Amino acid sequence: MTTYKSKMVEPIHLPAREERAANLEDAGYNLFNLDADDVFVDLLTDSGTGTMSAEQWAAMIRGDEAYAGSSSFRKLEDAVAEVMGFDHVVPAHQGRGAENVLYGTILEEGDVVLNNTHFDTTRAHVANQGAEAVDCPVPEASEFDSEGEFKGNFSVDEARRVVDEVGAENVPAVILTITNNSAAGQPVSVENTRAVREFCDEIDATFVLDACRFAENAYFVRNREQEFADATVAEVAREQLSYADVAVMSGKKDGLVNIGGFVACRDETLYEHAKQRGILYEGFSTYGGMSGRDIEAMAVGLREAVEEDYIADRVEQVRFLGERMAEQGIPVFQPVGGHAVYLDAGEFLPHIPAEEFPGQALAVEIYREGGVRCVELGSFAFPDSDRPELIRMAVPRRMYHKEHIEHVVETVAAVWDRREEIGGYEVVDEPPMKEIRHFSAELAPLGRV
Ligand SMILES: *Cc1c(COP(=O)(O)O)cnc(C)c1O
């Protein structure tokens, strides 16, 4: 049940079918090239796209824009201490800014970093320090349709194998990403978090939590891990975060704001070093690339993220979307994760080979059918990899109502009904850097059925 009402509205409109077809052609069949005004329900990302509360807007007016020592920053420190349990905060403009601050502080060339699965910007920042990023997901992370309750977990067995090979002295940090964004937003258990803590002690590594979705993860833990059945989501979050030495955070996720981020830690020395690098890249240590009003809004957002009504509404809305589609036989990643629903385009459109981009074909048809935008994460976005042909429908926080979600379900169901008529695509224009081509490349339909 939605436990909020609208206080401010923004009209959206569904362009006519012919307009949608023309928009696709103009965009070179790349949904990143669409005007957002031409999108009816936008599921491109859950990052920084959510709706702020009345309390957050009120807090923005109170934002203190002092260059140093602003009262807004003190409020952020208090919120991070109370909600997440860390004493020290180095603010940054968003998650990747925080990653640059932290990984530039603790990594050196030749290091090896382990993670359940590195998120794209994390992998890039590890590489940027001359270090190597190695993923250690549990085997069930890649099973599309299995029952696992914590498919986001870190495989300590796999990590041991890597450490035996490269030597513990070359592994200064282990990262645990909760929820595991790159593994369909699957949660990580507290039991697994404790095992990672022990492993870090064993090899003398810094334990980093990529905490972008710490509240969504805590909700799953409360519902799935017996020990926490009677705990509040806020209690679970504190418990899970208590095992880490340091957290990196993108406020654009569970900070419930449109921009912002930080590094949070306990160790005085690490704090001092991170602060210096923060000053170099982000700004003085009491604003770090954010305005006072942005900081103030994030301090409120962190507290709201662990409120029971909010988090239940949030995660259950995503589940509703996934389960309604799965009921109709549409191939949905199971169980549904915290922030997004993933569809297997390889199974949806088995007649389209990987080199003709089934995921992109599906994403294009979903826009054509109902003005809904999602993102391809298969052979178009990740050329030369053997990833499955997934598309992601990420749900912005507190933005869409049940009718919008039902519209998405009806749209995908209509595409499902005519799936055999859908053809593949070819790339006709791409930028020099293939790794980021999906943001700007243009495609053309192959016209084959
Ligand atoms: C979004 C995200 C980041 C990076 O944060 P930005 O605010 O987009 O820079 C890092 N890690 C994970 C798991 C994320 O989801």
DSSP string, 288-326: TTS-HHHHHHHHHHHHHHT-HHHHHHHHHHHHHHHHHHH
What pTM value is reported for the model?
Answer: 0.96
- For 41, phi then psi, to 5°, come to -125, 120
From 353, 358, 397, select the one nearest 381 (Cα to Cα).
358
Q: Which amino acid is at 336?
A: V
What is the Å distance from ligand 1's center to 95 Cα? 5
Q: For residue 146, what pLDDT is reported? A: 86
Q: For residue 349, what pLDDT is reported? A: 98
Out of 47, 101, 246, give the residue to mutate to test ligand 1, the one with the largest number of ligand atoms within 8 Å of its CB.
Answer: 47
Ligand 1, atom 10: nearest CA belongs to which residue? 95
**Do residues 354 and 389 make contact, with C-beta atoms less than 8 angstroms apart?**
yes
- How many Cα atoms sit within 13 Å of 300 on the Cβ side? 20
**Do residues 394 and 324 make contact, with C-beta atoms less than 8 angstroms apart?**
no
- Confidence band, pLDDT 50/70/90 cuts, at residue 432: confident
Place of tokens 């809004």: 297
Ligand 1, atom 11: nearest CA belongs to which residue? 119
What is the Å distance from ligand 1's center to 41 Cα? 22
What is the Å distance from ligand 1's center to 181 Cα? 9
Name the CATH superfamily housing domain 17-39+308-445. Answer: Aspartate Aminotransferase, domain 1 (3.90.1150.10)
- For 31, phi then psi, to 5°, come to -70, -20
Lowest-confidence pick of 11-15, 300-304, 438-442, 445-449: 445-449
- Confidence band, pLDDT 50/70/90 cuts, at residue 76: very high
Higher pLDDT, 221 or 434: 221
Would residue 6 be called left, alpha or beta, if left means φ above 0 and alpha means ψ between -120 and 50 degrees?
Answer: beta
Q: For residue 313, what pLDDT is reported? A: 97
Measured distance CA(362)–CA(422) in Å, rounded: 8
User: Is the omega angle on the peptide bond into residue 232 within 30 degrees of 0, that is, cis?
Assistant: no
Measured distance CA(117)–CA(120) in Å, rounded: 9
Pocket of ligand 1 (CB under 6 A): 47, 94-96, 119, 121-122, 177, 181, 210, 212, 250, 252-253, 261
- Confidence band, pLDDT 50/70/90 cuts, at residue 9: very high
Q: Is the pLDDT of residue 212 over 90?
A: yes
- Confidence band, pLDDT 50/70/90 cuts, at residue 357: very high
Q: For residue 356, what pLDDT is reported? A: 96
% of the chain surpassing 70 pLDDT: 100
Q: For residue 342, what pLDDT is reported? A: 96
Q: Which amino acid is at 232?
A: T
Given the DSSP bridges, would you call strands 41-42 and 372-373 parallel, antiparallel or unpaired? Answer: parallel
Q: For residue 396, what pLDDT is reported? A: 98
Q: Is the pLDDT of residue 148 over 70?
A: yes
Residue 434's SS3 state is helix
Q: Which amino acid is at 58?
A: A
Q: For residue 327, what pLDDT is reported? A: 97
User: What DSSP assignment string belongs to 192-252?
Assistant: HHHHHHHHHHHHT-EEEEE-TTHHHHHHHHHHH-GGGTTS-HHHHHHHHHTT-SEEEEETT
Q: For residue 448, what pLDDT is reported? A: 57
% of the chain surpassing 90 pLDDT: 92
pLDDT in tens, 235-260: 999 999 999 999 999 999 999 999 99
Q: Is the pLDDT of residue 187 over 60?
A: yes
CATH topology for 54-305 is Aspartate Aminotransferase; domain 2 (3.40.640)
Taking the domains of the chain in order of start, what are their residue ranges?
A: 17-39+308-445, 54-305
